Structure 1
Amino acid sequence: MADPMKIRAALQPDGKVLVKVLMSHTMETGQRKDASGKTIPAHFIQHVTVTHKDKTLLSAQWGPAISKNPFLGFRFSGGQKGEKVSVKWVDNKGEERSDEADIT
């Protein structure tokens, strides 16, 4: 399983929650070659879902053009301190990772 995501969710003075997520993933495009000249197989995050109180806040379809260890940042309304924000990704090999953070 991949390393844990680093997730921060902070309630801002305007009442919106700022979410920042750093995902640990190789994000191989399938176009690079290794030292021996063999193509490195594609391995990238395909789907990202963010939820809060069982409601989907964000659903994204990604492809091989996203950088290694991708960063995702966004804001949403309706969150309160102490509530949880959950992030899940699934890659093109079927591997997945889920993590959550409390809103501070």
Structure 2
Amino acid sequence: MTDPTLIRARSTGDKTVVRVLMAHEMETGQRKDATGRLVPAWHIREISVTLNGRQVLTAQCGPSVARNPFLQFTLRGAKPGDRIGVSWVDNRGERRSDEAAVIAG
């Protein structure tokens, strides 16, 4: 299992800025190891974000995304105390889900 996803959601007025840092190696499948063999591709392929259980964002990723991907976006309608959930699945079928509360800015 990977390290927890770090989620920060700060609400100011009617806007909430959400910052997400996902711990993942994100191999492209094009890098070679010390013996010259290709390291198999291993990357997050889908990210899903919920607000109080209701889906608000879905993103599809490919192998060219950097190690430990960072995602930032702004949404409307979240209030301090609401729950932001972030889930991802990689091309090996591994999954991770984490949640954080929206805080006042």
The two structures, once aligned, show a CA RMSD in angstroms of 0.7
Paired positions, count: 103
One-letter amino acid of the structure 1 residue matched with residue 85 of structure 2: S
Distance (whole Å) between structure 1 residues aligned to residue 5 and residue 52 of structure 2 = 19
Task: Say if 2:24 is the partner of 1:2.
Answer: no
Percent identity (aligned): 50
Q: 2:54 matched to which residue of 1?
A: 55
Q: CA deviation at 1:25?
A: 0.3
Q: 2:15 matched to which residue of 1?
A: 16
Distance (whole Å) between structure 2 residues aligned to residue 52 and residue 96 of structure 1 = 19
Distance (whole Å) between structure 2 residues aligned to residue 57 and residue 68 of structure 1 = 24
Distance (whole Å) between structure 2 residues aligned to residue 57 and residue 28 of structure 1 = 27
Per-residue CA shift, 1:29-68, capped at 9, x if unaligned? 0000001101100000000000002211110111101000
Please list every run of at least 4 consecutive aligned residues from structure 1 whose deviation after the TM superposition is greater than 3 angstroms.
none
Conserved 8 A contact 2:53-2:85: no
Distance (whole Å) between structure 2 residues aligned to residue 38 and residue 54 of structure 1 = 43
